[in-house]
Amino acid sequence: MKSIAVIGGGITGVTSAYALAKRGYQVTLFEKQRYAAMETSFANGGQLSASNAEVWTYWATIFKGMKWMLKKDAPLLVNPKPSWHKLSWFAEFIAAIPQYEQNTTETARLAIAARELLLGWAADEQIDFDLKQKGILHIYRDQAGFEHAQQVSKLLAKGGLVRETLASSDIQRIEPTLKGQFYGGFLTPSDSTGDIHKYTQGLASACERMGVNCLYEQDVVDVSADARSATVVVSHQGERISHNFDALVVSAGVASRKLAAALGDRVNIYPVKGYSITVNLLDAESQAAAPQVSLLDDETKLVSSRLGQDRFRVAGTAEFNGYNKDIRADRIKPLVDWVNQCFPDVSTRSVVPWAGLRPMMPNMMPKVGRGRLPTVFYNTGHGHLGWTLSAVTADMLATILDSSAVSERLATA
């Protein structure tokens, strides 16, 4: 097993290609866009956040979703129109609630392991991605949210993550530009932020230097496999082209479910839309008034990151509305309002909105490993922690392929 196709040029596909190339595989990367990281990996919240490892599979999420269903600017919005895909996903989501604590702790462990790999790769390849290592500050506006977070901290600690408990006065000391009244908070000094698009683009360039064949503007229209090989059929400039490999890896974000079905596997990813705004800090006053420390506001479910000197990213919300990519004004407005309220001296005259579809598994855990066939592998379904977990799941994938190759050699010896 030597030639490997990786389908998807977002963060998980590019990290998969990089990890495999480092181990000597002949990798071909397929991406339908003209460049890497042009969809869900384009403008996320910018956080590398082990501190955000809490999975959503607990009853409070269900109750909040029901309460917010008819509120257009709610942090969590579910389109009530039924579909079999949506119903099956929520049924499995509820079934995963008993694993909430275990999965939260395991996600924290994975995120910590990913951090060293991801930052190490950036250093090795000299990738400039506006890295800022000032930690992530979680802020809570009421006692109930703060007390829940204290219980979450215990689960994160089991995974190896250290968070500092903060009083209201500590929040103002750590980030003096932040305006408002807060009950308390938590600081995770080991977390960091940066520009996912710059990182993924930089690593994609490194892949090409290592010999990865990066094929852009290649829309994968069909996949097939048997016990000995795999085939990827693409549409490129109106022509259908077939490529054969020893194996393939599906890292295609929300498209992974359809590809998996064609390969005889069930990977029940649902597209959960998230929004972001990038505030261009065009004047010295705005640059001074924007925060340096990354934030997560529990009540609004919004995160923020400072990207270099002249950009401020705010992201969040979860919208269950199928594969719809529309950028809705009523979903962007709460992000702009949050900036105006929390950082009133930051000008929001120049704001760039964006929306992307997070590939989310019902149990909130990524799908990493072999498919039904020995030539099919997956690294997908990372949800809202795609960047945070990408390096470790790519490394796990490469290890699984190595072990599969060894098993195959032993079987044929």
Q: What is the DSSP letter of 300?
A: T
3-state class percentages of the chain: helix first, strand second, coil last, to nearest 5: 40, 25, 35
- Cα–Cα separations (whole angstroms), residue 399 to 11, 73, 352, 368: 18, 43, 40, 11
Angle between helices 143-158 and 100-125 in degrees, nearest 10: 70
**Rounded Cα distance, 345 and 325, in Å:** 31
Dihedral-angle region of residue 82 (phi above 0 means left; psi in -120 to 50 means alpha; beta otherwise): beta
CA angle, residues 348, 351, 353, in degrees to nearest 5: 140
- Predicted confidence at residue 407, as pLDDT, reads 55
Residue 184, judged by CB atoms within 10 A of its CB (0-12, 13-18, 19+), counts as: buried
Q: What tokens does 220 get? A: 């994968």
Within 10 angstroms of residue 178's Cβ, the number of other Cβ atoms is 18
**Rounded Cα distance, 83 and 76, in Å:** 18
**Rounded Cα distance, 11 and 13, in Å:** 6
Q: What tokens does 9 get? A: 């040029």
**Rounded Cα distance, 107 and 398, in Å:** 19
- Predicted confidence at residue 405, as pLDDT, reads 66
Please, where are the H alpha helices in 10-99?
Answer: 11-22, 59-68, 84-95
3-class state of residue 171 by DSSP: helix
**Rounded Cα distance, 57 and 61, in Å:** 7
Half-sphere exposure of residue 344: CA atoms within 13 angstroms, side-chain side: 3
Q: What are phi and psi of 211, to 5 degrees?
A: 105, 5
- 49: closest CA among 100, 111, 139? 111
Bridge partners (DSSP) of residue 152 are: none
Q: What are phi and psi of 161, to 5 degrees?
A: -95, 135
- 9: closest CA among 410, 398, 397, 390? 390
Q: Which residues contact 228 (CB under 8 A, 6 or more apart)?
A: 375
Residue-wise pLDDT tens for the chain (413 aa)? 599 999 999 999 999 999 999 999 999 999 999 999 999 999 999 999 999 999 999 988 888 877 777 788 888 888 888 999 999 999 999 999 999 999 999 999 999 999 999 999 999 999 999 999 999 999 999 999 999 999 999 999 999 999 999 999 999 999 999 999 999 999 999 999 999 999 999 999 999 999 999 999 999 999 999 999 999 999 988 899 999 999 999 999 999 999 999 999 999 999 999 999 999 999 999 999 999 999 999 999 999 999 999 999 999 999 999 999 999 999 999 999 999 999 999 999 999 999 999 999 999 999 999 999 999 999 999 999 999 999 999 999 999 999 986 556 535 44
CB-based contact 297:286 (threshold 8 Å):
no
CB-based contact 180:341 (threshold 8 Å):
yes
Q: What tokens does 351 get? A: 């704001």
- 277: closest CA among 232, 311, 315? 315
**Rounded Cα distance, 391 and 379, in Å:** 11
Q: What tokens does 249 get? A: 């890896």
CA angle, residues 332, 382, 401, in degrees to nearest 5: 150
